[in-house]
A and B are shown apart, each in its own frame.
Chain A
Amino acid sequence: MTEKKKMTFHDFIHNDNTVGYVFAAPFIIGFCFLTLIPMALSLYYAFCNYKIGQEAKWVGLENFINLFKDADFGNSIMVTVQYVLWGVPLKLIFALLIAMLLTKPTKLQGLYRAIYYIPSLIGGSVAVALVWKQLFGSRGPIVTMIKSLGVNGFNFFGSKTWAFVPLILCNAWQFGSSMLIFASGLKQIPKDYYEAAEIDGAGAFKRFFKITLPCLSPIILFNLLMQLISGFMTFTQAQIITQGGPNHATEYVSLFIFTEGFTYGHMGYACAASWVILLIMATITGVIFKTSKTWVFYEADE
């Protein structure tokens, strides 16, 4: 290094490494001071018998061994996977379709978009829980309809099989953020691509598959990953609408972790569960990143 030509201050400041670290500094500082220590601590606790407010006792792999034997944990992963497999595609397709529908230039576009965005603004409020319970409740319009078809004794919130349906619908209904991100992605697609395609006589479907999807693919990747992650971490809706019930049918992993750590006081165990989740998520994310090379199209590919 010292043999190298003496670096002037100007060189130093415009060096890629310097520029990179200057711009990335906020994240690096935040990560080191606010995230790294809690993450490291939670990893340490994962190997401990730890209750909040008490000394952590090292127990080695015991928590992990117990996790693999814990049927409730296995169940929570299964129901979460079920939730994600149904919920994420539903929400993304919905968000993309509506986003495209609302790019049609009309004077009412702003109003329309606002209407479709409002549901996302009331988030996890008590109102949502109440409405959802009334809509899907045993006397609500949906169950009444099912009953009129001759199915008796059916209800959503008491059924192990069906309790997740209101939850994924509630999740899909709040597609506003994804829609907005898709909309700004659509806006970024150069207009002349479409113009050129139209001159070439490409139909709407062809334009969608040949232009919209490829140009939007980085955003699709982003939305897919984020929805997967947030789907896996889903907490509020299950907590306010079903409280994990009936019979553990909607006890998603984050609810499991919260209950173990806070309600039962097994924080070490909860941390171990979190790290198992992290490993699962990291694997899934890794696989998606790997395959994304084949279907995500960047303007500025390196």
Chain B
Amino acid sequence: MKKRIFGLGMAAIMATTMMMPVMAEEATTEADVEVVESWNNVNDPDYEWPDYSGETLSFMWWGSDTRHQKTIEVIELYEEKTGIDIEYEYADGTSYWTIFQAKMAGDELPDVFQMGNNWATYYDTITPLNDYIADGTIDTSAISDTMLSVTMNQANGDITGISNGTNARCFAYNPAIFEECGLECPDENWTWEEFATACRTIYEQTGNPAITTIEYNSLVFSAFTQWEEGMNFYNMEGTDFGFDGNMEPMAYLIDMLTTLMKEGAIGDYGIQNEIGANVEADWIAYGDAAMIMLSSNQFQALSNAAAENDIELELCPIPRMYEDGQSGMCVRSSQQVSIYSKSEKKDIAANFVNFWVNSVEANKILNCERGVSINSDVLAALQEDSELTDATTAKVYAAIDLFGSFEDAKNTSPAEPTANEEISDVMKKTYIQGLYEGNFESAQEAADAFWAEAQEIWAKFEEEAAE
């Protein structure tokens, strides 16, 4: 599938270059930096900005205060270049989906909107970008195939949007605490056993739980990948589960975590619920916990909070099941920009998306706040600039680089099928905590009960989709 798109893209580029002999001279075949090889490169000093005076385009996103500020600056930059008027609105990450669904019900979604990995749930609202990529309206010459495919529907090859950047679920740790406790810092190959030992040692020596934020679901998903090569919780296409009903990985993981929690070596549910989704409130930022599980693009906010207490943090992957085994790490799109399927201005929208992902000038403002840019030119330009790439940001770049280099990172399923939201909630709310509270005799029993319910939920969604 990937090949087909790439092929189409090349053909289109060739077709357009033939139509535009002036450009053709500059355009050479290989995708080397510095060389203009496509007709729509916004970074070309001679780029001819389209004139959209009198036109309007609408755009909507979610995020933090900082993100709103940066995004608006980029919008103003585009308005200045093209004369367009962009109507925008924004919300926080939770409320966003309420507005989104209201607008979806009213057929009034903005032309361009931010979309998450849950795009399968909102598939009808999305325009596949394949044609725009093929004809070069959205220039992907500086985006590798792998990066382009992070937002691709693996089942049919539709590109559902362009990634705003990649991130990975991983761990951050405080090296000072590890050293104090006489422990080796986590390396890229550390295992769950090492994790458990570290937790116990840190708890014994500091009296504090070693970690207070754990995203169980992601860990369970990873555990399936780590268990056996070729296994995933959901398959790559997101069309089914990716394992045969063997619940050992989940049982192993929740058994270990529950035991640690009962010992006090990791934060109990009370502590975890107090912190909620607020990384800056995590104990690690105050030197009270040694580790945290997070998304790599939350690392900046966390590091800033920790820096106020003179704490420096590092990133590391999720522990492995076996040494030198599968990492279970997945570098995926943190979120993407998509074009509304009912938009009447898809061409303008595509031009904006092109600017959004490719413009170095724009991305210097955005500075990978949404995730590590998938455009290699942009990323190189940002990394060159030491003002934009401070030590913290450099750590994120390095970590994403490392995780992406893991052999199995490509085989880890990024899929979030429609049923995922409900299955995840059930996993988190009922079975993992249920074991802790004694609703189940053993971890295996809890995992098996979860499997039965997950299948039921899956069947319910299948049925709904079939209707």
Contact = CB atoms under 8 A, between A and B. Distances in A.
Touch test A–B (CB under 8 Å): yes
Given A158-B270, A246-B269, A247-B430, A264 B422 contact: yes
B276 interface: yes
A157 B274 contact: yes
B418 interface: yes
B101 A53 contact: yes
Interface in A60-83: none
A114 B125 CA distance: 49
A259 B425 contact: yes
Interface of B: 97-98, 101, 104-105, 121-122, 124-125, 268-274, 276, 418, 421-422, 425, 429-430, 433-434, 437, 464, 467
B257 to A, nearest CB: 14
Contact of B268 (A53, A155, A247, A263): A155
B104 A52 contact: yes
Q: Which of A53, A245, A264 has the most CB of B within 10 A?
A: A53
B11 to A, nearest CB: 35
Interface residues of A, number: 29
Given A57-B467, A155-B268, A247 B433 contact: yes
A243 B273 contact: yes
B429 A264 contact: no
Contacts of A247: 269, 429-430, 433-434, 437
Given A49-B464, A52-B105, A245 B421 contact: no
Given A262-B97, A264-B422, A265-B121, A158 B276 contact: no
Secondary structure dominating the interface of A: loop
A159 B269 CA distance: 8
A277 B270 CA distance: 30
B289 to A, nearest CB: 12
Contacts of A54: 124
B437 A52 contact: no
Contacts of B437: 160, 247
Contacts of A265: 121, 418
A252 to B, nearest CB: 14
Interface in A133-175: 133, 137-138, 153, 155-160, 163
B464 A51 contact: yes
B104 A157 contact: no
A262 B105 contact: no
B429 A158 contact: no
A133 B422 contact: no
Given A49-B464, A265-B121, 16 more contacts: A53-B105, A133-B276, A137-B270, A138-B268, A138-B270, A138-B274, A156-B270, A157-B270, A245-B433, A246-B273, A247-B430, A247-B434, A262-B98, A263-B97, A263-B421, A265-B418
B274 A133 contact: yes
Interface of A: 49, 51-54, 57, 133, 137-138, 153, 155-160, 163, 242-248, 259, 262-265
Q: Which of B105, B269, B273, B430 has the most CB of A within 10 A?
A: B273
| A-B CB proximity, top 8 nearest | A158-B270, A155-B270, A158-B269, A157-B273, A53-B104, A247-B433, A157-B270, A52-B101
Contacts of B270: 137-138, 155-159, 246
A248 B273 CA distance: 12
18 contacts: A51-B464, A53-B124, A138-B270, A155-B270, A157-B270, A157-B271, A157-B274, A158-B268, A158-B271, A158-B272, A159-B270, A242-B273, A247-B434, A248-B430, A262-B97, A262-B98, A262-B101, A263-B425
Nearest to B457: A264
Nearest to A50: B464
A51 B125 CA distance: 13
A245 B426 CA distance: 12
Contacts of B97: 262-263
A176 to B, nearest CB: 26
B429 A155 contact: no
Nearest to B273: A157
A16 to B, nearest CB: 42
Nearest to A160: B437
Contact of B276 (A53, A57, A156, A243): A243
Contacts of A49: 464, 467
A160 B122 CA distance: 34
Contacts of B433: 245-247
A51 B123 CA distance: 13
Contacts of A243: 273, 276
A156 B268 CA distance: 11
Nearest to B209: A138
A158 B273 contact: yes
Given A157-B269, A159-B270, A262-B97, A248 B421 contact: no
B192 to A, nearest CB: 23
A159 B105 CA distance: 38
A213 to B, nearest CB: 41
Contact of B421 (A138, A159, A264): A264
A137 B430 contact: no
B430 A245 contact: no
A155 B274 CA distance: 10
A160 B124 CA distance: 39
Contacts of B271: 137-138, 155, 157-158
B287 to A, nearest CB: 14
Given A133-B274, A155-B271, A263-B421, A53 B429 contact: no
Contacts of A263: 97, 421-422, 425
B101 A248 contact: no
A53 B125 contact: yes
A51 to B, nearest CB: 7
A265 to B, nearest CB: 6
Contacts of A52: 101, 104-105
Contacts of A53: 101, 104-105, 122, 124-125
A163 to B, nearest CB: 8
B423 to A, nearest CB: 10
A153 B270 CA distance: 10
A137 B274 contact: yes
Contacts of A262: 97-98, 101
Nearest to B262: A153
Nearest to A156: B270
Contacts of B268: 138, 153, 155, 158
A155 B264 CA distance: 13
Contacts of A155: 268, 270-271
